[in-house]
Chains A and B, each alone.
Chain A
């Protein structure tokens, strides 16, 4: 379980998070919606200790990230896979080397050749074939880079997956493929996921619950069918109108 407790974060004088409280239950997929620039990515980065909160805390499996020792922080990071918005693949390394980095840790120091079989399996899981292993990220399409990013995130068999804008910048077909991949991995790996998105289709497609981050706080957390009936004008404006436009809500 991941709990965000009264989380505050500012950059210079700009307050991004202003007291976020949110609990992500074991096994669920939570879609975190919100307008661009409201701090959705900032919020999930706190779960891995990539950012330090100004106040508040994140609790992952009972470990307080704010007070975690380096060893505890490493342990939390090994439980979480993070799919970055633009994949964040190391562009000086091949796909195989990118996956190898995630498969092994500094202490193990497993040779690259030992990890190739596993790497091929990871690529197959995200519907890529082994021919991409020797390619550099710059030689891949946007959709393929995202998939390699996903393969890298699941390489160490995490319990949690954090998806940062997984469909941004993709065409509708590739975006659908990624949505299906999220659901497939949630099902097959049994992971708990947070999917940060401003894409309503993705949120309603993959989310067991949907949370709306607005003005630095969580405005609503509900099941998809319930959030559509939410009478809060902000929630209605952000969620319902788009779905009405699409004929999802009468």
Chain B
């Protein structure tokens, strides 16, 4: 099969999987318990790493801004840049990267392993729908868990950037940072940040499930599938990040 044809076939398969998820959604009894369990595992276990990444991201942002702008611009600008960077970009993207590495890779590996050991066939043979049983709970869990994680990452990033700025930037005060953040802050930016988190949550879990379910071969196949899932979600994450910019500007 030619690469273009193969790509179109895969796109068609992904669309069909999305359609199957949509058909299952009105029947929450089939997936809600499993989705909540998945959300707990995804959220609680990922939280420390998400917070660590957000802390480092916020710390770097305030120091870099301080180093770049000192002398040229008023110090309160650091507060504006910190809030803008963390809320619209670093919070959702760093959360996405952590979740892609922790959750996306785990989902792809688990489903690929189930595929190659015929566990998916066993589900079908028992009259169960793998989309309702395996895919929908994971995608719904992603949608549930990403927005709160993004909010927490935003809070941690801003707190870390604030604290590090006070330590590392000469002459800056908390009043400067608060003034800068208030000068920048718009409610839509926060809503956008949460929406971006939900979009990333869907994309990461959906792509990981889709790639995982296409796993073939033995242990090597599972490894290859996991790598493919991480590559695909990385590209999707950055592509969505670019495509979502006009949404921020629109309001």
Is B132 within 8 A of A85, CB to CB? no
Expressed in whole angstroms, the Cα–Cα distance for A84 and B119 within the complex equals 9
The one of B29, B121, B127 that contacts A105, using a Cβ cutoff of 8 Å: B127
Does B118 belong to the interface (CB within 8 Å)?
A: yes
- Give the distance to chain B from A56, nearest Cβ to Cβ, in Å: 20
Does A45 belong to the interface (CB within 8 Å)?
A: yes
Is A50 within 8 A of B129, CB to CB? no
Is B121 within 8 A of A84, CB to CB? yes
Is A102 within 8 A of B119, CB to CB? no
Is A50 within 8 A of B127, CB to CB? no
Is B128 within 8 A of A84, CB to CB? no
Q: Given A106-B30, A106-B132, A109-B29, answer yes or no on A78-B127 (Cβ-Cβ < 8 Å).
A: yes
B126: nearest chain-A partner, CB-CB:
A102
Is B118 within 8 A of A88, CB to CB? yes
Is A90 within 8 A of B122, CB to CB? yes
Which A residues touch B67, using CB under 8 A?
none
- Give the distance to chain A from B215, nearest Cβ to Cβ, in Å: 14
Does A86 belong to the interface (CB within 8 Å)?
A: yes
- Give the distance to chain B from A65, nearest Cβ to Cβ, in Å: 13
Which A residues touch B114, using CB under 8 A?
90
Is A106 within 8 A of B128, CB to CB? yes
Expressed in whole angstroms, the Cα–Cα distance for A86 and B114 within the complex equals 12
Which B residues touch A74, using CB under 8 A?
127
Which B residues touch A105, using CB under 8 A?
127-128
- Give the distance to chain B from A112, nearest Cβ to Cβ, in Å: 12
Does B117 belong to the interface (CB within 8 Å)?
A: yes
Number of residues of chain B lying within 8 A (CB) of chain A: 17
Does A115 belong to the interface (CB within 8 Å)?
A: no
Is B126 within 8 A of A101, CB to CB? yes
Is A90 within 8 A of B125, CB to CB? no
Expressed in whole angstroms, the Cα–Cα distance for A229 and B123 within the complex equals 41
Is A85 within 8 A of B119, CB to CB? no
Expressed in whole angstroms, the Cα–Cα distance for A90 and B124 within the complex equals 13
Please provide the chain A residues from 35 to 52 with a CB less than 8 Å away from any CB of chain B in the complex: 45, 48-50
Is A88 within 8 A of B127, CB to CB? no
Which B residues touch A77, using CB under 8 A?
124-127
Which A residues touch B121, using CB under 8 A?
45, 50, 82, 84, 88
Contact pattern, B 87-123, Cβ under 8 Å of A = 1, otherwise 0: 0000000000000000000000010001001110111
B114: nearest chain-A partner, CB-CB:
A90
- Give the distance to chain B from A99, nearest Cβ to Cβ, in Å: 11
Is A82 within 8 A of B29, CB to CB? no
A77: nearest chain-B partner, CB-CB:
B127
Is B30 within 8 A of A50, CB to CB? no
Which B residues touch A156, using CB under 8 A?
126
Expressed in whole angstroms, the Cα–Cα distance for A156 and B126 within the complex equals 9
Q: Given A106-B30, A106-B132, A109-B29, answer yes or no on A91-B119 (Cβ-Cβ < 8 Å).
A: yes
Which B residues touch A102, using CB under 8 A?
126
Q: Given A86-B117, A88-B118, A109-B29, answer yes or no on A101-B128 (Cβ-Cβ < 8 Å).
A: yes
Does A211 belong to the interface (CB within 8 Å)?
A: no
Expressed in whole angstroms, the Cα–Cα distance for A50 and B126 within the complex equals 11
Expressed in whole angstroms, the Cα–Cα distance for A106 and B129 within the complex equals 9
Does A20 belong to the interface (CB within 8 Å)?
A: no
Does A227 belong to the interface (CB within 8 Å)?
A: no
The one of B125, B129, B132 that contacts A82, using a Cβ cutoff of 8 Å: B125
Which A residues touch B110, using CB under 8 A?
92
Which A residues touch B124, using CB under 8 A?
48-50, 77
- Give the distance to chain B from A178, nearest Cβ to Cβ, in Å: 18
List residues of A whose CB falls within 8 A of some B CB: 45, 48-50, 74, 77-78, 80, 82, 84-86, 88-92, 101-102, 105-106, 109, 152, 156
Please list 15 pairs of residues, one from A and one from B, whose beta carbons are closer than 8 Å in the complex, sorted by A's number. Answer: A50-B125, A74-B127, A77-B124, A82-B121, A82-B122, A82-B125, A86-B118, A88-B119, A91-B117, A91-B119, A101-B126, A105-B127, A106-B127, A106-B129, A152-B126
Q: Can you name 19 extra interface pairs (CB under 8 A) apart from A77-B124, A101-B128?
A: A45-B121, A49-B124, A50-B121, A50-B125, A74-B127, A80-B125, A82-B122, A84-B118, A86-B118, A88-B117, A88-B121, A88-B122, A89-B122, A90-B114, A90-B119, A101-B126, A102-B126, A106-B127, A156-B126
A-B pairs, 10 with minimum CB distance: A88-B118, A88-B122, A82-B125, A77-B127, A84-B118, A102-B126, A88-B119, A74-B127, A50-B121, A48-B125
